[in-house]
Amino acid sequence: MGQALINADMLSWARKRAGLSVSVLAEKLQQPEEKVAAWEAGETRPTFRQAQQFAQQVHAPFGYLFLRQPPEDDLPIPDLRTVGDHAPRGISVDLKDVLRDVLRRQIWFRDYQIAMDESAVAVVGRAKGALTAAEIVTDMRKWLEVPPHPERGNWDAYFRDLVQRIERLGILVMRSGIVGNNTRRVLSVEEFRGFAIADPVAPVIFINAADVPEARLFTLVHELAHIWLGESGISDGDPANRRRTEKLCNAIAAEFLVPEEEFLPLWQEAEDWKANLAPLAAHFHVSQWVIARRAQELRLIAEQDYRRYVVNRLEAHRNREKRGGASFDRVVPGRVSKRLAQAVASEALSGRLLLRDAYQLIGVRPHRLKTFARKELGL
């Protein structure tokens, strides 16, 4: 097989973009490290097949390797994460690819909304100005038509109910723990917990579903706060984040889920602070993770104790994930937003959207679309 006439500089760029060293990539390609280094140096060229494998391992389109210079690879929304007082060192190719996938769906839905002559989503940017976290929470509860906390049910039911209410406002809620359908490309919780696109016509909330399930409720409200503020951004959900927007969104989520005025009298000083978690979680109908988060924000527990608790919960979750999950069809509406899935399926079944394009948008194969629309979407 002949050599691929690729640009050696693009090999090096693609590898570094994927965050891989020469030695790690060589191991993935099952090639000697010296050979991969020689490809990047332009001393030799890989075969066409080897170049395809190279592109696959670095998660780059094969055509990129033939470009004269790297394409624009900037983030489409602000990066609001921090590590201590500093911005993180880089963005993984996994996060970039997820952002592009979500934006592709968001752009389609935006065009669909405009074609349907739908008006802008009223809550996007409602909190611009000098409003306090408490004032914003009051406004959010009014629009969502929810009390300070549910009277029954657990945190999971609360989460599902809020997702439905948020989508009724016109906001798409997507969640996934992998890139596309590739189960080998698991998203990093340490890198980000969610992001928000505060578009006035097609706003989007994305939640990293690789995170502890109990933590996603806080992320959901945090990203909803971004929509209310009209400020897009990628979030790490770290209580120590000192960026103005992130501090405010954290405060809004905490007050929305666990009102301070009601919480403080219920917190009991105990030898083991975790004794408070179960009874308070039951009272507010949130997860124990949210209670721990609120306690840390109010300085009732030390930050190191909270972080240790989160690490333990995340490890336990990852161990459970190894034992399997839900069927694909039942996961799709949550992954791509039920509101989006309904719009795509409706357009495809009416003949206004090609079935292959519908598959690219919501991941349901053409021969299964009709059954999926009836059973999962109620169409």
Do 97 and 183 share a domain, yes or no? yes
Asked if residue 287 is part of any domain, the answer here is no
* pLDDT tens digit sequence for 199-248: 999 999 999 988 888 889 999 999 999 999 999 988 887 777 778 889 99
Q: What is the pLDDT of residue 208?
A: 92
Q: Are residues 246 and 99 in the same domain?
A: yes
Q: For residue 170, which of 113, 121, 110 has the smallest C-alpha distance?
A: 121
* Domain identity same for 44 and 116: no
pLDDT band (50, 70, 90) for residue 328:
very low
**Is 221 exposed, middle or buried (CB count within 10 Å of its CB: 0-12, 13-18, 19+)?**
buried
Q: Which of 231, 258, 285 is the last residue of a domain?
A: 258
- Domain around 50: 8-66
Q: What is the pLDDT of residue 10?
A: 87
Question: In this structure, are 154 and 227 located in the same domain?
Answer: yes
Residue 347 lies in a domain: yes
Whether residue 158 is found in the same domain as residue 57: no
Q: Could you tell me the sign of the dihedral formed by the alpha carbons of 207, 208, 214, 215, in that order? A: negative
Helix axes 155-168, 133-144, angle to 10 degrees: 80
Report the pLDDT averaged over residues 324-346: 72
**Are residues 366 and 228 both part of a single domain?**
no
Q: Residue 189 pLDDT > 80, yes or no?
A: yes
Residue 278 lies in a domain: no
Torsion of CA 34, 38, 40, 46, to 10 degrees: -100
- Residue tagged 């839905």 (tokens): 109
Do the domain assignments include residue 306? no
- Residue bearing the bigger pLDDT, 140 or 28: 140
Q: How many domains does the chain have?
A: 3
In a domain, 39, yes or no: yes
Q: Rounded to two decimals, what is the model's pTM? A: 0.82
184 contacts 135 by C-beta, under 8 angstroms: no
Look at residues 192, 158, 194 and name the one whose alpha carbon lies nearest to residue 287: 158
Assigned domain for 305 exists: no
**Two tokens at 229?**
């503020």
Q: Are 332 and 372 in contact (CB under 8 A)?
A: yes
**Nearest 5°: CA angle at 145, between 278 and 267?**
25
- What pLDDT does 317 receive? 77
Q: Give the per-residue pLDDT at 74.
A: 67
Return the pLDDT at 327: 45
Count of CB atoms situated within 10 Å of the CB of 223: 31
**What's the pLDDT at 326?**
45
* Residue 325 banded pLDDT, cuts 50, 70, 90: low
335 vs 73 pLDDT, higher one: 335
pLDDT number for residue 84: 46
Does residue 135 share a domain with residue 47?
no
Q: Tell me the pairing of strands 178-179 and 172-176.
A: unpaired
Question: Model confidence at 299, in pLDDT bands (50, 70, 90)?
Answer: very high
What is the pLDDT, as a whole number, of residue 329? 46
Q: What is the mean pLDDT of residues 103-108?
A: 93
At 36, which CATH number?
A: 1.10.260.40
Give the Cα separation of 151 and 70 in Å (integer): 55
Q: Is 291 helix (H, G, I), strand (E, B) or coil?
A: helix
pLDDT at 330 exceeding the cut of 70:
no
- The beta-strand segments (E) located in the chain are 172-176, 178-179, 182-186, 194-197, 204-208, 233-235
Whether residue 138 is found in the same domain as residue 25: no
| Confidence at residue 280, expressed as pLDDT on a 0 to 100 scale | 96
Does residue 263 belong to any structural domain of this protein?
no
Is 348 found in the same domain as 229?
A: no
The CA angle 27-183-24, to the nearest 5 degrees, is 15
Q: Name 318's Cβ contacts closer than 8 Å, sequence gap at least 6.
A: none
Among 26-40, 48-62, 255-269, 323-337, the range scoring the smallest mean pLDDT is 323-337
Task: Please check whether residues 106 and 43 belong to one and the same domain.
Answer: no
Residue bearing the bigger pLDDT, 329 or 105: 105
Would the pLDDT of 297 be above 70?
A: yes
Mean of all residue pLDDT scores within the chain: 87
pLDDT confidence of residue 83: 47
Report whether pLDDT(71) > 80.
no
Question: By CB neighbour count within 10 A (0-12 exposed, 13-18 middle, 19+ buried), where does 114 fall?
Answer: exposed
Round to whole Å and give the CA distance between 353 and 204: 22
Q: φ and ψ at 207, to 5 degrees?
A: -115, 130
Q: Do 97 and 232 belong to one domain? A: yes
pLDDT range class, residue 86, cuts 50, 70, 90: very low
Residue 248 lies in a domain: yes
Stated length of the chain: 379
Please indicate, yes or no, whether residues 360 and 239 belong to a single structural domain of this protein.
Answer: no
Confidence of residue 331 (pLDDT cuts 50, 70, 90): low
Q: Do residues 51 and 62 touch, judged by C-beta distance below 8 A?
A: yes
User: Do 173 and 203 form a contact (C-beta atoms < 8 A)?
Assistant: no
Residue of 366, 375, 140, 342 whose CA lies nearest to 251: 140
